[in-house]
Amino acid sequence: MLHSPRTLPALLVGVLLLSLAACGGEQSAGTAPSSAAATKKITVYSGRSEELVKPLLDKFTQASGITVDVRYAATAAMAAQLLEEGERSPADVFFAQDAGALGAVAKKGLFAPLPADVTSRVPETYRARSGEWVGVTARARVLVYNPSKATEQELPASVFELTDPKWKGKVGVAPTNASFQAFVTALRVQHGEDKAKEFLAGLQANEPQIRDGNGPILEEVDAGTMTVGLINHYYLGELAKERGLTPDKLTAKLHFFPGGDTGALVNVAGVGMLKKAAANADAKAFVDYLLGAEAQAYFAEQTFEYPVVAGVTGPAGVPALSELQAPDVDLNDLDELEATITMIKESGLVP
């Protein structure tokens, strides 16, 4: 099975439970320290899964001699824990699944500004205006479809068209998933509260297929038991890798919404350093490593995400990041997710 939900933070614990219901329990792990690394150690709160990033963190330890103690959980849980712990947190670095989570922590004044030699490596689109966090990888929202169920000519030009009765019962969505929540926040930012509520109400009235994450949606679309679904682009590459195939050999195909449609939102996973680590050279070395050629290539080749640093080849089988027609949404504005979670719940998409 393809592992999925990747969940984003809400700022209130009661509202946060909506996201965490799809995420399971928290687990902790760390790389095994070697004698050479015993005196050099950082603590990372990771909203990225252990399966995804541990191989990369091991490479970092081997190359640098710096031990990485990692606490793994959903990005929502990690952000909530940082907000609760405040300046008492043992974390040096927060490696988050989503720009909204990073923004939420930054708004509480917990991050230190990153050095200019870090922020300058990442395009302005994919970093905080304040310099307190930077994107590490980018991912695009897409509509995955089964060509035997819907031809390319029948696909919607806008995500708003999915509320049309022709799509009744045919659309898979994961409303407790991080990326869907960020997409709804982008709707609010780009089109206003009323338009976002109208879309969610129309989607709910159209009897969508509710799933816990992007992975199950993709698998069902590929199997032909679901027509279309809203997911992130990289899941196609991950499923193909699991099956020993190239993405073009899967039945499921990706539809990138054109014309700056909100359905084509490009978000980031990223990193910020806690204030206590502002002068920590080892924490800085970790951030540098994530933005280096080895880590950027790892994400492109192993997780099929887009590198955000120039000079690294992007994932195969999808348009280049520069070719995507992303909406005019500032990722810095995705940090107010509490209202988004409430809106999704009130729409009826989540009980």
**Ordered DSSP codes for 135-174:** EEEEEEEEEEE-TTTS-GGGS-SSGGGGGSGGGTTTEEE-
**How far is it, in rounded angstroms, from Cα 32 to Cα 323?**
41
End-to-end CA distance of the chain: 25
CB-based contacts of 246-252 (< 8 A; 24+ apart in sequence): 246/316, 246/317, 247/316, 247/317, 247/318, 248/317, 250/222, 251/146, 251/147, 251/148, 251/222, 251/223, 251/224, 252/144, 252/145, 252/146, 252/218, 252/221, 252/222
Torsion of CA 7, 157, 329, 11, to 10 degrees: -30
**Measured in whole angstroms, how far is the alpha carbon of residue 212 from the centre of its chain?**
15
For residue 127, give the DSSP letter: B
Q: Binding site annotation covers 145?
A: no
Helix (H) or strand (E) holding 46, with range, is strand 41-46
- Within 8 A by CB and 6+ apart from 58, the residues are 31
Residue 129: strand, helix, or coil: coil
Backbone angles phi, psi at 90, to 5 degrees: -80, -10
- Within 8 A by CB and 6+ apart from 89, the residues are 45, 81, 82, 110, 274, 276
Contact criterion met (CB below 8 Å) for 78 and 11: no
Annotated binding-site positions: 234-235
Annotated binding-site positions for Fe cation: 234-235
